[in-house]
């Protein structure tokens, strides 16, 4: 891992590009945690090998009060102490990363995956055009 792989962040361990998250996952040094809703993963797609731990759940989008503990449990099961959090655009995963980092007793390094699964909207309000996991050509599946 080079220093350029991790971009500084305030309140959690850092921001990383989708390619870095995939490399860490392949190396089995980190677990990708998909923080999107069940519906998003089902309809838009998911990353093979990622573990689903919703930060907020539809309907109502209430915050998962057990999120940090669930992330720690998933990492423990995978035998890692580093989590890379993925949402739609890399925004919700920041709030989720801050929540995990607020629990240092869990001993989890937590990173936000920049651009998320679909990236930002373009001028036509379309996603998966300006960035994100899918645009980077990384593995993903869809029902």
Provide the angle, in degrees to the nearest 10, between the axes of the packed helices 92-101 and 67-78.
80
Distance CA 134, CA 59 (A): 25
User: Is residue 3 pLDDT above 60, yes or no?
Assistant: no
CA distances from 60 to 39, 63, 129, 142 (A): 13, 9, 28, 24
Quick one: pLDDT band at residue 1, thresholds 50, 70, 90?
Answer: very low
- Give the predicted TM-score (pTM) of the model: 0.91
Q: What is the DSSP letter of 12?
A: S
Q: 43-83: per-residue pLDDT in tens?
A: 999 999 999 999 998 788 899 999 999 999 999 999 999 99
Encoded tokens for 79: 């035998």
Contact 23, 74 (CB under 8 A): no
List of domains in the chain: 12-42+63-137 (3.40.250.10)
Contacts (Cβ under 8 Å, ≥6 apart) of 49 = 25, 32
Q: 92-116: per-residue pLDDT in tens?
A: 999 999 999 999 999 999 999 999 9
């Amino acid at each position: 891992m080079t220093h350029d792989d991790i971009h500084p962040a305030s309140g959690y361990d850092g921001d990383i590009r989708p390619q870095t998250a995939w490399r860490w996952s392949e190396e089995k040094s980190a677990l990708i945690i998909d923080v999107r809703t069940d519906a998003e993963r089902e309809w838009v797609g998911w990353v093979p090998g990622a573990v689903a731990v919703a930060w907020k759940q539809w309907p109502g989008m209430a915050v998962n009060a057990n999120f940090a503990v669930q992330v720690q449990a998933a990492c423990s099961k995978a035998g890692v102490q580093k989590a890379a959090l993925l949402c739609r655009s890399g925004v919700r995963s920041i709030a989720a990363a801050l929540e995990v980092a607020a629990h240092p007793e869990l001993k989890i390094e937590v990173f936000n995956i920049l651009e998320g699964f679909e990236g930002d909207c373009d001028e036509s309000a379309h996603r998966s055009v300006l960035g994100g996991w899918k645009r980077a050509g990384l593995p993903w599946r869809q029902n």
